[in-house]
Amino acid sequence: MNSQQESFRSWKSLLLDDTGWLSSPSQTHDWIPRQAQKAYCGRAHELRDIPYTKCGCGIYGVKSTELTKPYHIKSLYGNPEFKPAGSVLVQIAMWGWIHEGSTGYRSQYAYPTAIVCPKSLEPAARVAGEMYEVPVTTVDDTEWQEVIGRKPPRPKLMEQIEHTVYTQEEVRRALRQDKRHKLYMQIRNQQKHLDQLNARLLALPGEIKYVENLINRMKEERNAL
C-alpha cells in the first residue's frame, strides 16, 4: 500500500452515453463530473488495520492500454441501464490508499484525467471532456480497432496515447475537485443546521407567549382557590 500523498496513472474502459456521462460497464453507477470517485468498503481498513490484500474493495485500473482490451470488447455489448453509445479508453488518476497488483492498481479515490475515443464517439466525448474538465484524444476507426484489440496494435500509436494525454495538472485538478466537494458537503450540512436554528428562533416568540399565558392561567386558578 502506498502513501496518501502519492498518485498513480492507470487506464480503464468506461461506457460513454450520448449526453457525455461516463459509467462503469461492470457496476451500476456513473462517474460524477467534477467529483472524485470514492471506493466504499464495509471492512473498515483504517480503523482495524485489515490488509487490503484480503479484500477486493477499491477502484480498479490497469497499468497499460494493452491491458484494457478485454474490458473494451466486453463493454461493447453495452449496459442497458445506461443506454451506452459505446466504450472509450479513460486514463484516471488514483490516490488515497492504493494497493498495487501485478497488472494494475486499486485505490480509494479516482478521477478521469483524459479520454481517448473513436471518431464515431467524438461529439459525446467532447461533451464529456467539458463536463469532466479533461482533454479528449480522438483516433480514427482503424486506430480504435487497434486500441480495443480487434487489430494488432502499432507500438507507436499505443506509445503516443499512453504518453501524450497525461499531465500532472489533471491529477491536481482531481484533488482540488475532491476538496471542493468535501467543502460543499460541509457547507450544506452547516446551512441545514443554521436553517434549523433560525426556524427555532422564529418559533420562540410564540412559544414564550404560550408559556406566559399558561403561567398566568395557573396563577389565576390558584388565586381563585
- In this predicted model, what pLDDT tens digit does every residue of 10-33 receive, in sequence order? 888 888 988 999 988 766 678 999
Counting as low any pLDDT under 50, the low residues of the chain are 1-6, 76-79, 81-84, 166-168
pLDDT of residue 150: 66
Q: How far is CA 125 from CA 41, 80, 113, 118, 135, in A?
A: 31, 19, 13, 9, 10
| Residue carrying C-alpha cell 482540488 | 176
Structure-block grid coordinates of residue 44: 473498515
| CA distance linking residue 98 with residue 168, whole number of Å | 18
DSSP category for residue 51: -
pLDDT of residue 39: 83
pLDDT of residue 3: 37
What digits encode the pLDDT tens for the residues 193-214? 888 888 888 888 888 899 899 9
Its sign, for the CA torsion 114, 68, 97, 44, is positive
pLDDT of residue 84: 44
Pairing of strands 104-118, 136-139: parallel
Its sign, for the CA torsion 163, 164, 169, 173, is negative
